Amino acid sequence: MKANESWFSRGKAEAEKGIPFGERVVGIAIVVFSVLMVLYLGAHQTRSTGFFTGTFGTLETLMLYGILILGIISAGLEGVFGLRLYSRLFDVFGGLILAAVCTAWLLMVFPFEFAYFADVLPGSLSFLVQWISNDVARVLMVLGIIVYLGAAIYCTIAYSFVGKKQSKTERVFDKILKQISISPKK
């Protein structure tokens, strides 16, 4: 990548190549992490650890788990199934913007008490998340909102290039099929 290369030329180059193995691994890792987070947060809800406060209602439940499900769908389309075009389409038309809105709502309501976040882990593993305080969680949520909005802009640009590349490929493929069916050899 050259220092003077524009976003548009990088997006176009991205559209012209397949999904590298490393990116697919990252997508799979996101799916696995998101599923583990659903299970981890579900354990907090079923055990009533105190992590979720009294302000954690139905809307907040839908938003919290919705963000994770959006991540599973997007990363699954690209990482597991290799469908970058559909992943970007999903991201552009709602996935990332909705995740940013949900995160902003959860930040405003903040129905969490991170003092209890490690309670569902065995004692020997609690150090992994024990350092996360309410303040750290709020900072991470603000960073998440920024990343979601930035990714929404990037994916919009990348989707337009991937869509153009795919439609050009489909037109060439359609011409080939048309030639085969119009002029069969006898």
Q: What is the pLDDT of residue 75?
A: 86
**Domain ranges, ordered by start, for the chain:** 14-182
Mean pLDDT value of segment 45-73: 93
Q: What is the pLDDT of residue 183?
A: 47
Q: Is residue 106 exposed (0-12), middle (13-18) or buried (19+ Cβ within 10 Å)?
A: buried
Q: What is the pTM of this model?
A: 0.71
CA 176 to chain CA mean position, Å: 36
pLDDT in tens, 83-128: 777 777 777 766 888 899 999 999 999 999 999 999 999 989 999 9
Cα 159 from Cα 177, distance rounded (Å): 26
Q: What is the pLDDT of residue 62?
A: 95
pLDDT in tens, 116-165: 999 999 989 999 999 999 999 999 999 999 998 998 888 777 767 765 65
Quick one: what percent of the chain has pLDDT higher than 90? 47
Q: What is the pLDDT of residue 186?
A: 45
